[in-house]
Structure 1
């Protein structure tokens, strides 16, 4: 049986340590939708006195009424339950009088309160300063709108700025954790799953352990009405107005058009419109700008990439083929994308290899501080790790294929040649070279020659350790 709640030990430890301080505390937790914020906080509060309130898009007065009900479940009081509050401060002032023990107060989807009342950040500043900070209370504010949580709770101009005791931006699970959801899947199949779901817990849970990858795609992605079929469209329509142009831009990026000019040529949209739309997509964290890892100033030479694999997969294999899916022709669609999907997995594998290297930095010849892609004109290197202080640099080629020893040597020779084009501490740097593949024949020999060489077998060993 796969696990419903995986990893998050560090996050639970931070929350637990903050709670154990036995003083008033304000915790901010945020991250993209479906990342597991609510499940994390439920695990944290399950054995502790708590008040849990889920905000929604209704009016300010309706949310006050629901908050009152949530408080009443924890501290039953006939008089408190009968009062008709119309003001947040008055509600918490009266509730504060009734709190006799340490309690965690959770407000989930805090940005919804702000959408219905722009004064909410200032109101909660007053609630915290004059009421809750003087009580034995742990207030937790959660939100899925990353930009709103940063702007209204963490930014130095925000009314709540400087009051938080702890903050968490919840990240997707790492590739190594997928095996805990799908323990019977071989590591190569998990790479394919990761290419669809990324490390988003709710998306992974939509893959049934009793079905293989192909069956899961046909049954749970390429099927009308299924969660993963419609999720991307629903989320983006909640965040954006008029999605047609946005979808055209995202399709271009999914098809590998990552430079601004390439996106403009693909979409045929006005460049000023594209710039504005790319900024908006970056604000809601669907995409991000990426620069060569050795570039010190982020002023030009940008590429636009997806923040997670789900959106990338959806705009590459679902959105362009919705007609086929609506006609119930999942078998034909899967067969038609097989070859391209294997190419797509090359990009997915790069992300997995990046995670893998960060997890092994203590075992590498030097402790790197930056890791990312490098490109210049027509030359590219998949991953480059570097340390500005020690002037050490490692170049990696990543290949989603089985490599014989001779082919691996040719790739490494080509990598050494390309590295000569990397303008970074050229006079006094120490270089290392590596190769990561699906399977690398003779990797022990290559390691003996000083190369950093890994494949899925090494990732499998790490999986077994976990």
Structure 2
């Protein structure tokens, strides 16, 4: 995501001490830290610390009375590597932090790491550093619009959507991993994906595996890959995941929690049914790996990328691009499409509306619901359906209208509820005609999602 880039730029701008940890033993890490600290202070010889207790005490001692008004900036990057071999480090930092706070600290300490579960655990309820942090910042990937601009494909929405469904918004994938190898048009996308993501000679080929392996709390990677594969295959409920991997629901609680803490899996509550939820893989490259690459791994390793990709069109559309497009449509409403809701506030999500008369369930891909408060009923502001590879017609609109009717029957306020059709493949003439006649119907395609004029809010 560029965390190290940002931290190095900060130290370069403001001065201070930067230490980038590596995967090493405790003794070697301590030597590396002593050498870096000696270089920072101008010592002609490396410092030799017997323990991390000595090293941390000396480090904080540098932040004593200073000649300038600027505090000492200290950055420790990839902190999980150190914490793994020296679990006492957070407690040592807590001790020194508490001591210096009582004397007006002149230190600003930034701890950074890629292992989300470890970094999040530093501030957990029983952790030594609980309550000591003044800031917790998660450096997130680019949103889908910023990613399109970064890859230079903002003027080609169909290409941008496919790129984002595969590599997401991670900046390093373009430059550090692929050396600026970017498809220039949609016609080049197939060749590009075969020579990059699906090629065993590309750094991206095994990146999804490495993302999982770098999380310290993940030990049985086979189990975690199976859980992710279940979600990628469309088994998004706890019961569905358990059934897919052949375990009981209670047996997968731990891996689900670890994947959530690692920000690799997100549990999204059903916006219409309390207590119901489904899981979604948050990292597009992992979802692509589990859905397309992992089932054909041996063939890909033997160089059959073109054949595998040619046979994966339906799987890519159904398990990768389709669910990703739904998530992008919800992101659109949280950002550039927010004006569609006017002044209304509400939770953006998805959910299922049960139709008892027809004995079916209506999946609503995009919904905006404002919870009720006091004597006010919950209000539904928008219901939407998203289709990746299907030209949308009146049947989708009728399904949304039926969902609105059912929600009104359950006591929800649907008086100002608009209906939205999101499609990457376009809309039928009949649907366009209906939208032209009905101000409450919105048609949103890739052009609108990627920077076109935002449609007028439904009235």
Partner of 1:387: 370
Partner of 2:397: 412
Distance 1:434 1:440 in 2: 12
Q: CA deviation at 1:373?
A: 0.9
Partner of 2:220: 242
Q: Any gaps of 5 or more consecutive residues in structure 2? A: 355-360, 455-459
Aligned pair count reads: 422
Q: CA 1:463/1:66 → structure 2, altered by over 3 Å: closer, same or farther?
A: farther
Summarize deviations over 1:358-378 as a string: whole Å, max 9, x none.
112134234332111111563
SS in 2 for 1:47: helix
Are 1:180 and 2:149 matched, yes or no? yes
Return the TM-score normalized by structure 2. Answer: 0.82
Of 1, 5, 16, the match for 1:50: 16
Summarize deviations over 1:387-436 as a string: whole Å, max 9, x none.
22574321011122464xxx533321221112333479625443221111
Partner of 1:253: 231
Q: Any gaps of 5 or more consecutive residues in structure 1? A: 1-34
Return the TM-score normalized by structure 1. Answer: 0.81
The one of the two structures with greater contact order (alpha-carbon pairs below 8 A, sep at least 6) is: 1
Q: CA 1:295/1:72 → structure 2, altered by over 3 Å: closer, same or farther?
A: farther
Distance 1:123 1:75 in 2: 22
Of 307, 313, 328, the match for 1:332: 307
Q: CA deviation at 1:288?
A: 2.6
Q: CA 1:163/1:282 → structure 2, altered by over 3 Å: closer, same or farther?
A: closer
Are 1:141 and 2:111 matched, yes or no? yes
Q: CA deviation at 1:384?
A: 0.6
Partner of 2:444: 454
Distance 1:306 1:89 in 2: 38
Contact 2:79 2:113 in 1 (8 A): yes
Q: CA 1:136/1:445 → structure 2, altered by over 3 Å: closer, same or farther?
A: farther
Q: CA 1:230/1:408 → structure 2, altered by over 3 Å: closer, same or farther?
A: same
* 1:355-374 map, 5 Å: 355-359=331-335, 360-374=337-351
Contact 2:173 2:204 in 1 (8 A): yes
Partner of 1:89: 56
SS in 2 for 1:227: coil
Q: CA deviation at 1:293?
A: 1.4
Distance 1:191 1:463 in 2: 18
Q: CA 1:275/1:122 → structure 2, altered by over 3 Å: closer, same or farther?
A: closer
Partner of 1:221: 197
Q: CA 1:421/1:149 → structure 2, altered by over 3 Å: closer, same or farther?
A: same
Distance 1:108 1:444 in 2: 57
SS in 1 for 2:352: strand
Q: CA 1:210/1:198 → structure 2, altered by over 3 Å: closer, same or farther?
A: closer
SS in 1 for 2:199: coil
Partner of 1:59: 25
Q: CA 1:136/1:429 → structure 2, altered by over 3 Å: closer, same or farther?
A: same
Distance 2:77 2:119 in 1: 12
Are 1:322 and 2:297 matched, yes or no? yes
Q: CA deviation at 1:117?
A: 1.9
Distance 2:161 2:132 in 1: 42
Distance 1:146 1:295 in 2: 30
Q: CA deviation at 1:129?
A: 2.8
Contact 2:420 2:443 in 1 (8 A): yes
Partner of 2:325: 349
Q: CA deviation at 1:106?
A: 0.5
Contact 2:404 2:414 in 1 (8 A): no
Partner of 2:419: 433
Partner of 2:73: 104
Higher alpha-carbon deviation: 124-133 or 46-55: 124-133
